[in-house]
């Protein structure tokens, strides 16, 4: 049973918190729309272990999708203040299975095909789910999809090495402390995220302290003080469970080919996705899929270039 969750209070005709049963667990979805009947967009959060409900306000301010869509903000299994045993049960397989079930639930709930917006690892999960649930999906917009962990780690390490030689002593010390990949435990992964954020590779113009404060305030506002502690605990638990598996992730070994349009978006300043990976992806995608690299954007392309991402979503929904 979940603890405190903030009651929806947005300025929308539809703003409802629901808890569908997904593969033996109760998971949480917040549905927001200017009015009923709008086509559904399901957001699959980055990860591993990141909740989404606490970021709904940020998505609404940046992307403003609710005017044209019913937006489903989904806390994945074990995220937020879910029971810790659920967090410990998370794997790549359970995430794909859960997403397939959520897509079916939302399609039945709205009587419409679902447009899926997947972010980072969420895009990786969404691509695999779309290959199984194409009948229920309108299109997939994949932001900064994780495709090959080893290649991504190498690119990020090269980025940090350049920063180590050109930056200050404090940055150099932290990079030395980080060490070399793979990162199969939460502490080094989180340290790398901190460094990449400080160096502008995650969100343009946002320092780590600013994003950390926003995270903590959002968690407390959404789940309460104890729930925020549980959300951070669950994030670590999910990362401990998934990171060893994700260290060997390589979608290119068996690229999923869903029978739906897929639109891939990357940030030109994303240290985790080098141009070589984008070019490699361009050689394996299906005819009709698109690949676009956006300037002045890091890993969180949807926050750095929200107008373009919103336009891609609108065009995908109309196609």
- Return the pLDDT at 294: 97
83-93 in b/e form (b: 16+ CB < 10 A) is beebbebbebe
Cβ(51)–Cβ(75) under 8 Å? yes
- Return the pLDDT at 1: 41
- Return the pLDDT at 165: 81
Residues composing the chain? 319
Q: Is 253 left (phi over 0), alpha (psi -120 to 50) or beta?
A: alpha
- pLDDT tens, position by position, 35-93: 999 999 999 999 999 999 999 999 999 999 999 999 999 999 999 999 999 999 999 99
pTM of the model: 0.95
Q: Name the stretches of the chain with pLDDT < 50.
A: 1, 3
Would you give the end-to-end CA distance of the chain in angstroms? 40
Contacts of 49 (CB under 8 A, 6+ apart): 78, 79, 87, 90, 234, 235, 236, 237, 238, 239, 242
Kind of pairing, strands 28-33 and 14-18? antiparallel
List the structure tokens of 91.
Answer: 């794997």
Q: Measured between alpha carbons, how far is residue 178 from residues 146, 164, 203 in Å?
A: 21, 11, 21
- The secondary structure of the chain, three-state, reads CCCCCCCCCCCCCEEEEECCEECCEECEEEEEECCCCCCEEEEECCCCCCCCHHHHHHHHHHHCHHHCCEEEEEECCCCCCCCHHHHHCCCHHHHHHHHHHHHHHHHHHHCCCEEEEEECHHHHHHHHHHHHCHHHEEEEEEECCCCEHHHHHHHHHHHHHHHHHHCCHHHHHHHHHHCCCCCCCHHHHHHHHHHHHHCCCCCCCCCHHHHHHHHHHHHHHHHHHHHHHHHHHHHHHHHHHHHHHHCCCEHHHHCCCCCCCEEEEEECCCCCCCHHHHHHHHCCCCCCCEEEEECCCCCCHHHHCHHHHHHHHHHHHHC
Cβ(251)–Cβ(147) under 8 Å? yes
Closest alpha carbon to 125 in 39, 36, 50: 50
Partners of residue 293 on adjacent β-strands: 266
Q: Measured between alpha carbons, how far is residue 49 from residues 88, 192, 242, 248, 296 in Å?
A: 10, 16, 9, 18, 27
Cβ(298)–Cβ(156) under 8 Å? no
């Amino acid at each position: 049973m979940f603890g405190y969750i903030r009651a929806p209070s947005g300025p929308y005709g539809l703003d409802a918190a629901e808890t569908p049963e997904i593969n033996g667990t109760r998971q949480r979805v917040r549905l927001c729309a200017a009015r009923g009947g709008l086509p559904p967009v399901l957001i699959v959060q980055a990860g591993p272990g990141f909740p989404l409900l606490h970021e709904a306000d940020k998505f609404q301010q940046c992307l403003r999708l609710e005017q044209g869509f019913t937006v489903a903000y989904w806390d994945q299994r074990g995220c937020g203040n879910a029971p810790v045993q659920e967090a410990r049960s998370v794997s790549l397989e359970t995430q794909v299975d859960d997403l397939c079930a959520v897509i079916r639930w939302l399609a039945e709930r709205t009587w419409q095909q679902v447009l899926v917006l997947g972010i980072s690892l969420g895009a990786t999960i969404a691509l695999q789910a779309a290959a199984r649930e194409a009948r229920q999906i309108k299109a997939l917009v994949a932001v900064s999809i994780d495709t090959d962990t080893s290649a991504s780690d190498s690119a990020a390490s090269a980025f940090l090495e350049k920063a180590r030689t050109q930056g200050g002593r404090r940055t150099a010390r932290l990079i030395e402390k980080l060490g070399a990949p793979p990162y199969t435990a939460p502490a080094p992964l989180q340290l790398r995220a901190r460094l990449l954020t400080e160096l502008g590779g995650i969100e343009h113009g946002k320092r780590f302290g600013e994003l950390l404060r926003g995270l903590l305030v959002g968690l407390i506002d959404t789940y309460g003080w104890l729930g925020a502690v549980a959300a951070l605990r669950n994030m670590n638990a999910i990362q401990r469970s998934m990171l060893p598996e994700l260290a060997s992730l390589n979608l290119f070994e068996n690229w999923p080919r869903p029978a739906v349009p897929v639109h891939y978006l990357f940030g030109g300043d994303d240290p985790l996705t080098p141009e070589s990976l984008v070019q490699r992806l361009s050689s394996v995608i299906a005819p009709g899929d698109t690949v676009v690299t956006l300037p002045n954007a890091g890993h969180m392309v949807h926050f750095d270039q929200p107008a373009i991402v919103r336009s891609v979503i609108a065009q995908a929904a109309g196609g």
